Amino acid sequence: MSLPKIDLPLYPVTIPSTGKETTFRPFTVKEEKILLIAQESKDIDQVITAIKQIINNCVTGVNVDELSTFDCDYLLIQIRATSVSNVMEFRISDPDTEEKIDIEVDAEEITVFTPEGHSKFIKINDTNTIVMKYPSIEEFYKSLSNQDKSKQFEFMLSCVESIVMGDEIHKLKDYSEEEILEFFDGLTGSTIEQIGNFFDTMPRLRLEHKYVSDGKEKTFVIQGTETFFQSR
């Protein structure tokens, strides 16, 4: 006779980038081990794999490869808060004094922050617009570690969803690489700068936490997956 399986509770959650409502469960001991191994490795590939595996296992009805990086960050925080504790502990080093400081923050206070001026719509002229899409967590973090300018340009193009020309919508997936490159070679520097601003101002997890060091009040900023993996 086999041991009975334990039913885990389901919690409601909203996917930040789409507003879609779904549910998730806490992670199990098995998944906590995956998380701990990734934390200890400090290897970004292992971190990404761990995040994707845990989200696929715990969140209902999502394809993790279609989620934005800030969706994954947010879902991971929610899963962690219900599985372990909503209190996250950090040991930080003050940038001025190098003093080691232990702080605690409430995961429920961490929200998705969208910087001012962010837009998925890049205006080429009065009739033509580029529509961007958010990169997956794997695409985003691998792009940060790749300094090859040609690879960075490929990453940028991979985040273009479509081009609206008057009443026509052209999905980039319907065109060859040569056709796409020819189109982008004809854009002005101003348009490319707007695309760069899309990445610079993408939504992200953020929490500002006040602490005191050397008698002065300062702020520790929690932001993104890499910061989350520094928690203890």
Establish if 1 belongs to a structural domain: no
136 and 55 assigned to the same domain: no
Q: What's the pLDDT band for 151 if we cut at 50, 70, 90?
A: confident
Q: What's the pLDDT band for 152 if we cut at 50, 70, 90?
A: confident
Query: In this structure, is the dihedral angle defined by the CA atoms of residues 185, 190, 193 and 195, taken in order, positive or negative?
Result: negative
Over residues 125-152, mean pLDDT: 84
146 and 91 assigned to the same domain: no
For position 16, what pLDDT does the model report? 94
Q: CA–CA separation, 149 vs 158, rounded Å?
A: 14
In this predicted structure, the answer to whether residue 89 has a pLDDT above a threshold of 90 is no
103 and 212 assigned to the same domain: yes
In this predicted structure, the answer to whether residue 32 has a pLDDT above a threshold of 90 is no
Establish if 6 belongs to a structural domain: no
Q: Residue 174 has what DSSP assignment?
A: G
| Burial class, 217, CB count within 10 angstroms (exposed 0-12 / middle 13-18 / buried 19+) | exposed
In this predicted structure, the answer to whether residue 226 has a pLDDT above a threshold of 60 is no
Establish if 4 belongs to a structural domain: no
Q: Which domain holds residue 67?
A: 11-112+205-228
Q: How many domains does the chain have?
A: 2
